[in-house]
Amino acid sequence: MSNNKLFSGLLTTALFFMACGLSLAGKPQVFGDYTVHYNAFNTDTLQPEMAAAYNIVRSKNRGMITISVLKKTDAGEVPVRAKINVTASNLTGQFRTFKVREVDEGNSIYYLGEFHVAHEEMLNFTLQILPEGSTQPFTVTFRQKFYTQ
């Protein structure tokens, strides 16, 4: 299976969970010419071949965040690289920083990060994003609850 088909499946999975109401995240946010798409969900929802292709551990106790940044151009929206810092805190105030990795498939660029979650853990995410070629960073915040049982 090609990487483009796998990413399409990964994106479809994320969109499916947003549509089913299992995610409070996911509404694209617009900052001038840039649009940020994001989602967070448990990795056990990924198809095994998708998880293997992206070296993602499937587990009810692992969360995943996906982020993409698109720029409006005369030719339409195009993916752009960005420096992205992801942090989150839970309701007890515990603070975490998540490492994200860039996946560049030519016609798409996106960022993936994995982390441990507890049952019914609510995380308040903050994404600090600086698109390549831009001097103006922007911030996306959202809240997501994870279920492990």
At residue 18, the pLDDT reads 40
Query: What is the spatial distance between Cα 53 and Cα 3, in angstroms, rounded to a whole number?
Result: 8
Average pLDDT over residues 61-88: 96
Between 7-11, 77-81, 93-97, 128-132, the lowest mean confidence (pLDDT) is in: 7-11
Tell me, yes or no, if the pTM score tops 0.85: no
Task: With cut-offs at 50, 70 and 90, classify the pLDDT of residue 11.
Answer: low
Average pLDDT over residues 103-128: 95
Domain extents for the chain? Answer: 3-146
Average pLDDT over residues 14-41: 71
> Residues of the chain with pLDDT > 70: what percent?
83
Mean pLDDT, all residues of the chain: 86
At residue 82, the pLDDT reads 98
pLDDT of 25 higher than 60: no
- Exposure string over 36-49, b if 16+ CB within 10 A, otherwise e: bbbbbbbbebbeee
pLDDT of 64 higher than 50: yes
**Which residue's structure tokens are 């609510």?**
122
Across 44-120, where does the E strand assignment appear?
A: 62-73, 76-79, 82-90, 95-98, 101-104, 109-116
If residue 43 lies in a helix (H) or strand (E), which one and from where to where? none
CATH fold, domain 3-146, is Immunoglobulin-like (2.60.40)
